[in-house]
Structure 1
Amino acid sequence: MHKFSTEQPSNYDNLEQMDTLELLTNINREDQSVPLIVKNAISQIEKFVDQTVTRMENGGRLFYIGAGTSGRLGVLDASECPPTFGVPDTWIIGLIAGGDKALRKAVENAEDDTDKAWQDLRKFNINDKDVLMGIAASGTTPYVLGGIRKAKENRVLTGGISCNMNAPLSREADYPIELVVGPEFVTGSTRMKAGTAQKLVLNMISTSIMIKLGRIRGNKMIDMQLSNKKLVDRGKRMLMEELDIDEQLADKLLEKHKNIRKIIEMFDSQAKD
């Protein structure tokens, strides 16, 4: 009997004998439990977000560390913040065991080194203003646990996202978040429900932080990078709605200033005058 639910046998057997409709229906049935489990962890997520916002308002940064799927999800979430919210890539930093090459291919034994995460973090001069979130479905990954322990020794605020009750990561982190999704459809394949739960929570964390740090106006991404035609068109629509102007003027303003926030603030200033 495995102690942790992430290693428990699937609720389904003889998967290879299921037809495509059965496979898809059963996977979907399992996935439907995930949002409710995340909902039950909101109070844990709230505490971590509020503490992180306070640190970041005072110049701190948020780091994610993880291995395998968990590491990839952290790197993904961090990498999406600059284009979405127009922030430097130094505000939220994602690190994966084995380095960037592990994003595409598994790096043998990378997650088993308890010292490597801290070595990786020190390259960024991590300090007591910063926050470190460890992500590990099992809650037992040595790379993550080692990083969290060293961070605490150096007065870095720590959080942990795991998918097992009372996992070692929860005991180590200052602000543990537990998403106990139960056995996976394919036994032990935590890229499935566990990965989905982690992705949802990382979305919640980074989006809430950025909103509280003033990177959204109303419900719009006014700091997003205008890096392709779709985003330029979205920017035009934002200006038209926010400033009640026509498309021609919105197009002209964007071409000149290339920054949605700058244009809106310019109009706000003129309105006050």
Structure 2
Amino acid sequence: MNNFWHKLRHDSLAMLSLSIIVGVILLGIFAPWISPNDPLQPHLSEKFASWGSDFPLGSDHLGRCLLSRLLYGIRTTLFLALMTMAITVTLGTILGLIAGYFRKVEESMMRICDVMLSFPSELMILAVVGMLGAGIKHVIIASVIAKVAWYTRMVYSFVLVHRQKNYLLFSQVAGVSSWTILRKHLFPFILDDIAMLATLDTGWVILSISALSFLGLGVQAPTPEWGMMLSEAKNVLSIYPMQMIPSGFAILIVVAAFNFLGDSIRDALDPKHCLIPKSVV
């Protein structure tokens, strides 16, 4: 663990990505205090306003402040993505631990996962949202359903690596309860791998929420959300293309930060990965 944090601290790309993610989260938390305008208040006389002191990133087709909507959109896009990942990872971890440790349910749970994994994630999300209807709650439910089987399968594979280790066999012989073994012995050993997978997948969830909102199936107007802001911007693309830049750039930066951080965590956890001294290069 100390070696992991040592590698991560000395990875400049990982630290930059982590700084961007933490900074964006803080901007979302303090959005009500730092936003220059009300994100929902239209000013028709100020529509398509250029960048200035009143509208630092300009205004949209209804005269709403783009910077304010961008900051409040963090709460919708990023925070909902993090909540979706938390639910998915929690369910997948619990089911994966049960499937990997208790052999009586192993076969049945894995066959259910195989059936769910046979459908593309995007197709399953669209199918679930189509049945439940548009709305962010239904998008979250659909995203969890689409990914929980994959996390169950991955955690199950992690458990298989440790299932026959001596420390687990000794705990079983010593009479330690199965739930204690899962909670205190197995889970800590696979936590790093789960964190790496969750970091890599957060970018996918952000794109999924934004894409569905862009298509009109997720967050509904006038709620500030980056995908919804892109959808509104495409309608006036020929008139005011600058309206698309803030939300599009925000999605690009945040998703890239999560992907780069996930790659760095994966490299730091890889025992075969070693840093090449600069003098050798």
TM norm structure 2: 0.29
Which has the higher relative contact order, 1 or 2, with Cα contacts under 8 A spaced 6 or more apart? 2
Please state which structure has a larger fraction of its residues in strand.
Answer: 1
Please state which structure has a larger fraction of its residues in helix.
Answer: 2
